[in-house]
Amino acid sequence: QVQLVESGGGSVQAGESLRLSCVASEYLGEYFCVGWFRRAPGREREGVAVLNSAETTLYADSVKGRFTISSDIAQNTLYLEMNTLRPEDTALYYCAASSSGCPPAVLYGVPWSSVDGLFDSWGPGAQVTVSA
């Protein structure tokens, strides 16, 4: 499995921005599938954003219009730009990759609450704390 390491977490005030990065230990593949997830204290892990090689992007309703997922596959790097942060965005953020890809037909056929099941490589996480 590919090794993933996140960076860029920190503590900010509500309304501010952060950019998370995730570097993979190897080429993610021509048919890559990557994503960002988060786990807030006392809550289940949830999907934040997913991106595949067909440039299909999906976002959790709670972050649409504020977060943007992107990649630089040549650099084996994944990004999450987070704007207008809210206290409820406070969580440990994980990047993830799928070794089998996630074509649009698969992505759109999976309930968002189960999208993490598509991924088999996970980073250790980066803490994001947003204060009011």
CB 115 within 8 A of CB 47: yes
Between the alpha carbon of residue 5 and those of residues 104, 123, 124, 125, the distances in Å are: 26, 5, 7, 7
Helices (H) and strands (E) in the chain, counts: 1, 11
Q: What angle do CA 32, 34, 36 make, to 5 degrees?
A: 175
Beta bridge partners of 12: 130
What pLDDT, on the 0 to 100 scale, is given for residue 109? 85
**C-alpha–C-alpha distance, residues 35 and 89, integer Å:** 16
Per-residue pLDDT tens over the stretch 56-76: 999 999 999 999 999 998 899
What pLDDT, on the 0 to 100 scale, is given for residue 28? 85
Residue ranges of the chain whose pLDDT lies below 70: none
